[in-house]
Amino acid sequence: MSKRKLNLLFERARNEPAPVPPEEFAAGVLHAIRHEPPGAVMEAPSIFDRLDLLFPRIALGAVAVIILCAVLDFGLTAAGMPGLHDGLSQISAQWLLTPDEFQL
């Protein structure tokens, strides 16, 4: 599918006439709103809708955090200080089972 063919498809779809509303459409809407006062608050968007709208900012933020952690780990290791990896190993050894305890 070439770019030109896709553009042609858009162009032809653009020419499709919209359907005509039925004669009694306005009366139907009026019937539906008759019992409602104007100005009621619209439904709030869901949390998923809000997250969807934040794309790609959330994705970029996540990548930035990963890069920051990697650079920090690399910098600490290069400076001879315990890096994030060592920190995680310490936590693992302190709170989780050590390899010795797995020995049968």
Site residues (vs other proteins, CB under 8 A)? 1-10, 12-22, 25-30, 32-34, 36, 38-42, 45, 52-53, 55-57
Amino acid, single-letter form, for residue 21: P
| Look-up of token digits 């539906």 | 32
Which of 5, 103 has the CB closer to other proteins? 5
Return the HEC string of 56-84. Answer: CHHHHHHHHHHHHHHHHHHHHHHCCCCCH
Smallest distance from other proteins to CB 62, Å:
15
Question: CA separation (Å) from 31 to 39, 56, 73?
Answer: 17, 42, 66
Which of 43, 101 has the CB closer to other proteins? 43
Smallest distance from other proteins to CB 76, Å:
33
Which of 5, 80 has the CB closer to other proteins? 5
